Structure 1
Amino acid sequence: MNISVVIPLLNEQESLQELHDWIAKVMLSNHLTYEIIFIDDGSTDNSWQIISKLSSKNKSVKGIRFLKNFGKSQALHAGFEKALGNVVITMDADLQDNPDEIPELYNMIINDGFDLVSGWKKKRYDSVISKNLPSKLFNWAARKTSGVKLNDFNCGLKAYKLEVVKHIDVNGEMHRYIPVLSKNAGFTKIGEKVVKHQARKYGVTKFGMNRFIHGFLDLITIWFLSRFGKRPMHLFGALGFIMFAIGFAFALYLGIDKLFLNTGGRLITQRPQFYISLATMIIGTQFFVAGFLGEIVLRNKTDKKRYLIKDELNLS
């Protein structure tokens, strides 16, 4: 099979038939074999019923239905687990991503040898204040922090080699950082393609300004995990050593001053250096303990499902 198209969705009943027909037309005209995997992330409208009808008419359409809304990252993870195509395309279900871009994305993976190609919505139809400016700031911070030189981390239209999606773990709200996860896993040939962005035709956006706040918090998380996720003691141990060394230096100074210099004639407990020493040594010890606990958790963690599937269509 050439392509798996993975589409997470939430309450997109108006656009699903049109999106399916558009994708099928593109695949047919380019002689590409394909599957479309719709992941219904807890929709409360008729999205699942429409997916069921599409799957009964077209066996290339497959569906996964979550028991409730678990989030886009979990939906992508479920789709990646089921994908079989040599190239995996992700796109949103709201018709803002253009299926006509799929053949060129596919060729960039197959012919140009990219591990991942990310879309760049250079010209957008979103609100400048509520989306464009925060998105530019977010993308700048993501580039500087991760070292991945992409202009649009948030674009849902991306293409991957199959082995990439099988070797990365997308969880929490990390779908924004799949290129960073891929780089950290060793898939470093990452490309970018300017893609056509379309104005939303149906419904309303499911994301508000809080997604950018969450995005920046997730950026800090992924920076920490990429640097210290497999060796937490390297961070906490270093911080603990620095803090303990500062406290010990103050304690040593107080001891020498009391025993040999006896300046000021005050009790040690009346001097501010005593409390600085005590606090920093306690904090240093706590950092060491945090590092040890992190190492223990890392060595004893077990994988746990982060979502529950209610129904599946055309999936073995």
Structure 2
Amino acid sequence: TNYILGVVDQFRKRGHTTGGFNLVIDGDIPFGAGLSSSAAVECATAFALNELFGFNVPREELIRVAQKAEHEYAKVMCGIMDQFASMFGKKDHVVRLDCRSMDYEYVPLRLEGYKLLLLNTNVKHSLASSEYNERRQQCEAGVDLVRQRYPEVRSLRDVTVAQLEECVREADELVYRRCKYVVEENERLLEGCRDLQQGDLTALGMKMFRTHRGLSDEYEVSCRELDFLVNAVRENDAVLGARMMGGGFGGCTINIVREDAIDSLVSALAPKYKEATGLELTPIIAGIEDGTGLL
């Protein structure tokens, strides 16, 4: 209920008073699986109350309402990406979002012959909230160190790996590794969008594997169950790419898998996963649909 109460609170802080309302939430997004279920609840609630009470708050502001609800009620100092994707999603497209300027671009995701397969570890990511806040603090510490020599720097997106080597590595090796992952991942994202524009899913998939290695070894937000699933498909010719998703420490991996190989992959992997972890493996075939709206 904190997410819902947080949204109501944010509307009131903006001068919009709600009356009483009955709210029923239904969905098929597993909670605690790294699929941004909290953002989905926040955005759905914000959109519904905005329509119900005629507040006429634009979508761009509704995502801020949802984000602040998470900050102030759930105590997770999240960025804007999950809420933006939930509110502005477009069928069969990914969103390239600049979180500083809020400029965005839709990039087509053409999956001819392939599907997005989510593999749920069934490990609830209970550490994700506290660890997210800690990673954010570490990145901010890295920016502060760089800014001592380069005062024009505002965030890690302004920083190069060479600057991290110069300003951060000797001062704090752990902060250096965290920041280096983020700087390199920013570049991978831009390259990945170019891969999609060129229809090169193979190149995108290779970057997904590299991203997971960084999340596991450098940013350290993975877990052995997630690593097991990514490593298990790495040499499978039917899998172009795999990585963890969400805040980490559990949840799902996302995989680009040849459509005709999904059943055999899951049948072969599920018993191996259970033997290694004692947990059931839950496959979810996902699609990219439009964001929050009226039915």
TM-score range, shorter chain: under 0.3
Structure 1 or 2, whichever has the larger Rg, is: 1
> Higher relative CO (CA 8 A, sep ≥ 6), structure 1 or 2?
2
The two structures have a TM-score, normalised by structure 1, of: 0.26
The two structures have a TM-score, normalised by structure 2, of: 0.27
